[in-house]
Copies of this chain bind each other. A is one copy, B any other.
């Protein structure tokens, strides 16, 4: 289908099905000379890994990534980086019953009609298992951006069903299995998830990602705007149904006199724009928010049809996350890193010699 690549100069191409022998990918365009080992990728993979808490799927994957090329003596060489992650816990037998079923809310129906054949085991190519490769690729981008540009990319769970986060304390994000930055909400989250599991149901979530210290100037109008490429990348994550930059949908009711971020010699006075003006980074924090739908893999029976067009009841057994949004946090970080890395290289190609005497104004500090 030739749609498995993202990026133009930092290109990530992935392969692999949920229940095939392995998933993997190729990262083409990583600059030479960066220190890199599999451990650098493993840290983020472990954050995404299923089975890390009772709130995510019980499927246990080692998700041990191997670097097959592009790194020599623990340093990137500029050659394409081949990655492979073996699928170690496949349990294909769980899925034989859905071979001819179109599970409502899943890609079964659309894959079947598009391709005429479907690897029905665990969703095949449409499974979120593929996102592990994105996380590994994103870890390379994150490392480069952090070391070369001082950029920090961090995500958190902003809302889970009715439970809204009210405080952003970055130090708390990694102290709980929800990536929740508001310790006052942990009890509510825990209660809600217990009830959800009891109900055999699932729920949606909002995930926010922030990139700090991005220099002014990244993004290529008019189509390859930074925000447009971010929207593309986020919407390419399984289950994402909406993306906002900065104030997002709140701008509908805003007036121009409120929305426009004024400039002072000390920096912008606000960040309604979310760090992008005219499709180009402004030097402020890049603010991205997204909505993830509730997974359709639930144990409550649903109506559907099979490939013969007959009416059926569908009950998804197997091991599934009641809220896929939680584990989306490291995935969203990875996608933002991949987009920023691509635009860093694209900007640098054509504008390295640009000399602007205007001092870059102090960057907006998000409190």
Contact = CB atoms under 8 A, between A and B. Distances in A.
Given A2-B10, A16-B69, A124-B72, A115 B295 contact: no
A66 interface: yes
Interface stretch (A46-54, A166-174, A176-184, A258-266): A258-266
B351 A31 contact: yes
B20 A4 contact: no
B220 A2 contact: yes
Interface in A1-43: 1-6, 8-11, 13-17, 20-26, 28-29, 31-33
B242 A248 contact: yes
Contact of A308 (B116, B250, B272, B358): B358
A64 interface: no
Contacts of A24: 68, 82
Specify how many copies of this chain sit in the oligomer: 4
Given A245-B242, A256-B105, A110 B281 contact: yes
B69 A15 contact: yes
A339 B204 CA distance: 27
Contact of A302 (B16, B113, B260, B308): B260
A256 B295 contact: yes
Contacts of A272: 293
A360 B161 CA distance: 34
A241 interface: yes
Contacts of A21: 66, 68-69
A137 B60 CA distance: 33
Contacts of A364: none
Contacts of A8: 2, 8
Nearest to A239: B251
Given A116-B355, A224-B236, A227-B241, 15 more contacts: A1-B346, A2-B9, A13-B80, A15-B82, A16-B68, A31-B351, A72-B124, A105-B259, A114-B354, A115-B351, A202-B255, A204-B251, A231-B235, A241-B274, A251-B293
A336 interface: no
B251 A241 contact: yes
A365 interface: no
B126 A278 contact: yes
A254 B293 contact: yes
Contacts of A16: 68-69, 82
B6 A223 contact: yes
A222 B14 contact: yes
B294 A33 contact: no
